[in-house]
A and B are shown apart, each in its own frame.
Chain A
Amino acid sequence: MNQEIPQDELADLEISFTLNGSQVRVSIKPWETALDTIRNKFGLTGAKEGCGIGECGACTIVMDGKAVNGCLVLAAQLDGRTVETVEGLSSNGTLDYLQKAFLDKGGVQCGFCTPGMLMSAKALLDECDQPSKDRITNALSGNLCRCAGYVQIIDAVEDAALIKSKDAENQAVNR
């Protein structure tokens, strides 16, 4: 396909973006997906390719604060953006509220969907401290889980939101 195209047209692109808080630069193919770049060039293999067509959410990453399917975004589109992946959730070995709550509430079985679930939930909690159950369900509606069960996962997000805002309150009081 496209044999007549001069090779320089298909040259790699240089992009730079913020990945989990660090400024990064990388050389990509124009047709590479964001998911491939993050997994293969940065070794961040939390985000998974389940379906590759936007239907499972296993590839969910957060771009400029919004949950998106890494399989449907071109790497080239990350240029200049802020990207968060599941690897950026914990800091210095301490799990994030969501990660703890997923473990406590039995929201993880095989774990395949978990990075995507966590990132959808992360985008939600960054936008809204105390989301209603409906809002949580809506935010996770693009993430399929075949084993742990949605009840446990939704519970976990509610729990994480609660603990996070309690901690924030305590901190405010102590200040």
Chain B
Amino acid sequence: MSPGANESVIRVVGLGKSYETAAGLFPALKGVNLDIKSGEYIAIMGPSGSGKSTFMNLLGCLDTPSTGDYFLAGRNVAHMDKDALAVLRNRTLGFVFQGFNLLPRMSLQDNVALPLVYAGDDKETRRAKARELLGKVGLGQYAESLPNRISGGQQQRVAIARALVNSPRLILADEPTGNLDSHTSEEIMRLFGELNAEGITIVLVTHENDIAAHAKRQVKFLDGEIVSDHLTAQVPA
């Protein structure tokens, strides 16, 4: 067990989110409770529309909950303002999207360095860190290329490098392999495994069992509620 393993990185209490729709308020998340310790590797599963993305967006400080509290590294972020959330997104966590979300006009190096621009780092630091992380995900030779010059799997690795560039202790990934073939998906999962081995807490969403099998713990959503929460070893294959 790594040091600080008992410390909660994420703790949500009665977390709820309702969307305004034409048919009235729609409760996408209905009072979820979850505790995630430092160094954990969790797969969030569940059918489409079960509220996984809604939950991840709240964890990622991209959205604010309708009800409940969310403690990120001990601080309640449920009522923070937009700029405070932006700072958390920048420094405390890294988010990986299904669609990679790289900026098409920028070189890979500049894409990876972009969070550092908002952190206020100088040009040399930005360059050095971006290079280092591109190397870490095995794409150092493409630093000056534009995103459309590389494959989807490679783009997702660049996105992971970008998520890691501010040295967060938490990575959130919403269906990171959703747009990738199974071989490439395996490579991405291997990268997540390595990061977790370094002590980084990882929460990822997937609806594929063999992807989820890489995680140490699996949490299942259905209709905006958690319906099961097991260690992977105990999950029936």
- Do A and B belong to a common assembly? no
